[in-house]
Amino acid sequence: MIAQQYSAANPSRSNSPYCIFLAASIQHNWDYAAKGMRITIESCRISNPHIPIAVIIDDDSLAVRELFKGCEIIIIDPAELKLGLRTDLGIGVYFIFYVHLLSHYQKVLYVDGDTLIFGDLTPLFEMDGHLLARRFDRNLSVEYVNPEIIMQKEGVPISTDCINTGVVLFDMEYWSNGKLHQEFLSLTAEYGWNSFKNPDQGFLNIICWRNAIKEKLPDIYNTFISEIEKSSSHYTKVSETGILFPCVSNVDIKIMHFIGPIKPWHFAIQGYSLQRISYRYYEQFLPWHTRISQHLLVYPNFIWRKLSSLLNKNSSPV
């Protein structure tokens, strides 16, 4: 595995013991980088200007360097990776397993490119644990094609809860020697790439089980957008920097996660309302010209989506 590293534009930030990083295959999903990761990074810079940001990617073009200007950029050659069952996710879901390339930090926080960061994350970095991720009630067997084989061999009980890999805090004293990467490749050799339905979560849950990792990330650091939209106690607050952020049950949400297939950058092109709470939080980090273009784009697409739905309904056999 060949890795090339480029320092951040602001070298003074590298003195921090903490780092936030994002990862993706730029070659396979430019939209995710330009419309997702870039906005996540912007929200992080406003709320946590003291914490450096790194990206682990597979493209070294001038456009990419400009897109992630000011970030520490690590370029990898993912030749050893194969695409699993979830072809819609792309090969970039595996890049989280290269966290050892950031071993020059004490703590590293991975965040998906479909998250927004609103509050100071210093209290999170000060928490103890080899790996902290949000745990939620979901039968772990849904992560595997043949759960009876994998879970029985690993000794994992059916009732075990799952971790969500959208936000993960790594203690680099534990992971800096490439342990995560080695265990990940060991699992692929043992069970095969196509045994895992959700590659990153399927692998990481087993790795946590093998290492007896049970620490829990507080939900405020990975709150799903569906939980905010459905909550009767949700309201919006404004930070000192003028940023809108969600509050649920009088608790400030620090990281909001757009979990699910429809991301906010899909709304306009697919004709979904830009008045939704989820889009309002995302939109505030967009350049003004992009905001205008999205509002101009959404109306004809909304009409087309409604017409298509009506035509499909009328053409359906009785």
Per-residue confidence (pLDDT) for residue 314, from 0 to 100: 65
Q: Report the C-alpha gap between 56 and 102 in whole angstroms.
A: 9
How high is the pLDDT of residue 250? 94
CA 190, 186, 199, 159 dihedral sign is positive
* pTM, entire model: 0.91
Q: Give the start-to-end residue ranges of the domains of the chain.
A: 3-217
> Could you give the CA distance from residue 111 to residue 222 in angstroms, rounded to a whole number?
9
pLDDT of residue 138: 78
Dist. CA 256–CA 254, nearest whole Å: 7
The answer to whether the beta carbons of residues 167 and 109 sit under 8 Å apart is yes
The arithmetic mean of pLDDT across residues 124-143, rounded, is 92
- Look at residue 158 in the predicted model and tell me its pLDDT: 74
Closest to 106 (Cα-Cα) out of 136, 75, 83, 128: 128
Q: What is the percentage of the chain residues whose pLDDT exceeds 90?
A: 72
pLDDT of residue 231: 94
pLDDT digits (tens, 9 = 90+) for 238-256: 998 899 999 999 999 999 9
Give the pairing of strands 223-224 and 162-171: unpaired
State the pLDDT at residue 130. Answer: 97
- CATH number, domain 3-217: 3.90.550.10
Place of tokens 């106690």: 233
Note the pLDDT tens digit of each residue in 180-229.
999 999 999 999 999 999 889 999 999 999 999 989 999 999 999 999 99
Q: What is the reported pLDDT for 14? A: 62
List of residues 6+ apart from 62 with CB closer than 8 A: none
Q: How many CB atoms lie within 10 A of CB 130?
A: 18
Please give the structure tokens belonging to residue 284. 């505030």
13 pLDDT band (50/70/90 cuts)? very low
The residues that bridge with 196 in the sheet, in sequence order, are 144
Q: Is the dihedral of CA 65, 40, 42, 54 positive or negative?
A: negative
CA distance 67 to 64: 5
Instruction: For the chain, report the end-to-end CA distance as a whole number of angstroms.
Output: 57
Distances in Å between the alpha carbon of 2 and those of 57, 66, 71, 77, 80?
12, 22, 19, 6, 11
Distance CA 138, CA 244 (A): 31
Residue with tokens 């809860």: 161
Q: Does residue 90 or residue 190 have the better pLDDT? A: 190
Distance (Å, rounded) from C-alpha 118 to C-alpha 86? Answer: 30
In angstroms, the CA 227 to CA 18 distance is 29
Q: What pLDDT does residue 218 have?
A: 96
For 118: left if phi > 0, alpha if psi spans -120 to 50, otherwise beta; the answer is: alpha
Which own/partner contact pairs does 177-186 have at CB distance under 8 Å and 24+ positions apart? Answer: 177/100, 177/103, 178/100, 179/100, 180/97, 180/99, 180/100, 180/207, 181/97, 181/98, 181/99, 181/100, 183/207, 183/210, 184/94, 184/97, 185/80
